Structure 1
Amino acid sequence: MSDDIALVTGASSGLGEAFCRALASRCKRIIAVARRGAALEALAAELAGEVEVIPVVADLASIEGNARTLEALRQRGPVSILVNNAGFGALGPFAESAITAQQAMVSVHIDATINLCRAALPFMREQGGGYIINVGSVLALAPLPGTAVYSATKAFLANFSAVLQEEERPHGIRVQCLCPGLTRTGFHEAEGFSGSGPGEFPEAMWMQPDAVVAHSLAALAHEEVIVVPGEVNQQMAREALQRQLDLV
């Protein structure tokens, strides 16, 4: 992977930043996309000795942000590694939630992902292979009340990734939907996630971003599509699946 070019969204913190660090020694260039320009510049400076990082400041909830990201892919690619990690969430009953925030989740989790996949795939096919990692959530498999749109968008990513892998296998392209659980990224401490921070759940349920990313990259070698890191999360997914089967 030393000659690869990667594009990572949500790259300024959390799992996106961890993916950039993990891929630094394996790529010649990383196109790092996020809303926070200062954080991207700091990451680029830190990794300068290992890899060229191209900061792209873009909000993937907007048409302009998507266009800027697609243009960066065209100009600084083609990419052989695509990590669709950008995302956000909020807790609360759907009927009491602001519709604009729910629609923005659909834009970032679904629209931006399919746009980038569609733009990257022709180049990957031409190169004879590539890797796509769509970051979902264990809630795609085990949804909870208060996460209706968030869980649904992540379930879309799981199904989209599974079908895309079947379609792209003949072209040497591997597709994965990474479905982490509680991860120490700051995601659960953001506004809108009150009551779901580190102090609200047992220590055993939390994983570090670098451990989640390591699990994801290792799973690519085994062609796993739905990847759930951590025993606690795997058990949660199994129990949810069993409950669904019991209803059939």
Structure 2
Amino acid sequence: MIQLYFWTTPNAYKVSILLEELGLAYSVVPVHIGKGEQFGASFLEISPNNKIPALIDDDGPLGQRIALFESGAIMIYLAEKVGSQLYPADPSKRYAVLQWLMFQMSAVGPMLGQAHHFRKYAPARIEYAVERYTNEATRLYRVMDTQLGRSPYLAGEDYSLADIATYPWLRAYRLQGQNLADWPNLQRWYSTMRARAAVQRGLAVMAEKVDRNDQAPSGDRWQNLFGQNQFASHKN
């Protein structure tokens, strides 16, 4: 059985959507990051970087249990586990997917996350930071819109891990200072992604558990998500 350690964040949704696309059975282990459960010793054994998602597969390589952290690594593992065309065997197609998956991991996630933070969650508005990360979000949207003007999906003609990884981060486009109408190719792709049944199922995971207190966190919750609790020593 696959166990997905999960909270309702873009990186975790990447994996829940993929599991739904692959049709793999899994159970969800909630890790409430607003309450600081990501710092618990048992979770740190699986995810030493204290981030979700993480995954345990009791039927890993050679039938052995495997534990993984980092959403990109988890996605590659799951696609390879079943030989999915979402991560194709053809090297030319595989590297096209890999480069756009790495683009999401290195740019889309981190930079849009900073736009979220400084536009909504920072305790004081810092105009330089707001401008810098909003501008970077705009640049990344332009890169994606240009690519999607050349092909239906980010890595080419076929739907892939790259699309699954990127879509959850773009759902908060307003927080990133963006209007999808400004990016017609991206808007077309976004609508296609949103309509997929597996995407909808993946986004429905733990929907009833969404904690509105974490939409405007304060006190210990803010510290757990953004503050000093992130930088404290948590021993596993």
Return the TM-score normalized by structure 1: 0.34
Asked which structure has the greater RCO (Cα within 8 Å, sep 6+), the reply is 2
Return the TM-score normalized by structure 2: 0.35
More helix by share: 2
